[in-house]
Amino acid sequence: MADKRGYNGYNSTYSAGGYGSARPSAGKMSKKELKKKEAKARRKEYNATLRARQNYAAENARYRAKIAAVGGIDNRYYTLPEDKKQRKEKDYFFVMRKFVCFLMMLLMLVSIAYFALNYVKIAAIPSKFTALFMETEAKKTETPGEGEDTGEETPPDSEASNADETGDKPDIGGETGDDTNTDDDTGTAGEEKTDTGIYYSALDPIFGFIKYVGNKFNMDIKIGESPLYDAMIAKVEVGMADTIAQYIILAFPVAMIVYIITALVMFIKCFIGMCGRRISKLLPLGSIVMLLCAAVTAFGGLAYLTDVAGKMNYGGIVTVLIGGVTGAGGFTGGYGLLILLGLPLIAFILSLFAKKKVPYSIFDTYGE
């Protein structure tokens, strides 16, 4: 005769919706009363199931004792599996969650510290390495000049004839030669080349935008210097033929403000994810928002290069991005622009590993 108590003596009325399948009818009861009645029914079914398991375990123990008294048999076939601890909410865990959150927290801290360095202006750190945009002397194109080898043979009587006419010998760097160093990079002998570049702070557009909005409301705001954004706004007020460039100039300071706020929020969320049990699902989204804001900032520099009557050259964005590193000269993006683009990109890649799910079932080794 089949055992009606279910598998291993468990109550066969167990269902996925709770410890029992019986649910009280709603009737005219309120939601609060209905929830209490359902909870009471679940507790009742759970207690019944627990008592059934305890009774069956006791019977099994008595049976094993009788078998052991007559010589014993292989007891592993009569051993109940150990009770597993019920897991709440999720049946999986995250790989490297705390370590990834720690790395992302450091990246967000660097993002916030970058803007703080532009405000504090530490003398030990040159402005070249913290500037958002820079304007340096353009590279000179190398053209064959005097004294350079152009691949043409020198006329055989050029120097000799001059020497014969003047009665002097050609200068070959001997006693009569001039030993002064005339290298373009060092200037005169013993004199170092000075940096004549102009470097614009990352706070320049933010301060300039705040003052621009304040002037619209007849407010005299003195918050800081903003020569770059003042020149941009001058183009906008004159009226640019390319409306997209005009809108980008007005929008990219707002994008930088959103960048700072997002970095601060993600810093807090990464700290909570590192110390707590939960991890935010919005970390990849926050990284994408920061990356888009940095891209808009880069196009703001490209819009500045656009003439009032001209169109924006989108192909020049590469020069704006890496021109400061390669030393192309002219108006280009600085190291700070690369920092704004690189940090959220690395954070986005790390956030994918923080959400990697692995089920707890990989630790279940019984039954093999």
Mean pLDDT of 216-224: 86
260-295 tens-digit pLDDT:
999 999 999 888 888 766 666 788 999 999 999 999
Tokens 């080898």 belong to: 149
Evaluate if residue 146 carries a pLDDT over 50.
no
Residue predicted with more confidence, 286 or 14:
286
Looking at residue 25, its pLDDT comes to 52
Evaluate if residue 341 carries a pLDDT over 50.
yes
For the entire predicted model, the pTM comes to 0.60
Residue predicted with more confidence, 359 or 59:
59
Confidence of residue 126 (pLDDT cuts 50, 70, 90): confident
Looking at residue 96, its pLDDT comes to 65
Evaluate if residue 215 carries a pLDDT over 60.
yes
23-41 tens-digit pLDDT:
555 557 788 888 889 999 9
pLDDT > 90 fraction of the chain, expressed in percent and rounded:
34
